[in-house]
Amino acid sequence: MLKAVYPGSFDPITNGHLDIIERCVSFVDELVVAVLDNPSKKSLFTVEERIKHITEATAHIPGVSVKSFHGLLVDFCRLEKAKLVIRGLRAVTDFEYEFNMALANRKLDPKIETIFVSASANYMFVSSSGIKEIAMFGGCVEDMVPENVKHCLYEKFKNREEETNGFHN
Ligand code: PNS
């Protein structure tokens, strides 16, 4: 029984993340998508909203559960009895950050292994931060995020715009 943790901020989940999840369940029995709950990190969506987005977007994929975690990733992995951490790699620019994180996690717990899954070509350019910027300026995020997230993104920025307009008036 192979259990893996796929950690991240997922602010919001993208189709690139979803692609990694869909491909991982072909070689792991159980995949826990772990949303970092870090109140000191500014995020667009709350942890509860992000968990809801991911739960809805992965409802069709067997073997996937969605949880939040705080503190160290290795502690969460131990709690979940998972020996494998999955991280997606889009380009060489991701590599240094990911490699350092994998080394730090291995130092903290050598029994937990990180494996990198390469992004599919269609999603090489897709990032949560890029998507937020596109949506903020009213650009089209079709095919970059799951449908449920697309609506929430536009809704979030619409509300923000209304708040800002209200503030100026
Ligand atoms: O999607 P992100 O923001 O690149 O994900 C980063 C994440 C959540 C995987 C990473 O920040 C993390 O694991 N944080 C938990 C704290 C931790 O374990 N730090 C030690 C390893 S650097």
Q: Rounded CA gap, 155 and 29, in Å?
A: 35
Which uninterrupted H or E stretch holds 75?
A: helix 73-80
For ligand 1, whether the C-beta of 73 sits within 6 Å is: yes
pLDDT tens by residue, 34-90 = 999 998 989 999 999 999 999 999 999 999 999 999 999 999 999 999 999 999 999
In the chain, % of residues over pLDDT 70? 96
Q: Rounded CA gap, 51 and 121, in Å?
A: 26
Mean pLDDT of 90-99: 93
Mean pLDDT of the chain: 94
For ligand 1, whether the C-beta of 7 sits within 6 Å is: yes
Distance 52 CA to ligand 1 centre (A): 20
Question: Given the CA of residue 87, which atom of ligand 1 is nearest to it?
Answer: 9
Q: Does domain 3-124 have CATH number 3.90.1150.10?
A: no
Mean pLDDT of 120-130: 96
Does position 144 have pLDDT exceeding 50, yes or no? yes
pTM assigned to the model: 0.94
Q: How high is the pLDDT of residue 165?
A: 66
Q: Where are the domains of the chain?
A: 3-124
Which uninterrupted H or E stretch holds 162?
A: helix 147-168
Does position 119 have pLDDT exceeding 70, yes or no? yes
Distance 162 CA to ligand 1 centre (A): 33
Residue from 107, 78, 101, 75 nearest 88 by CA: 101
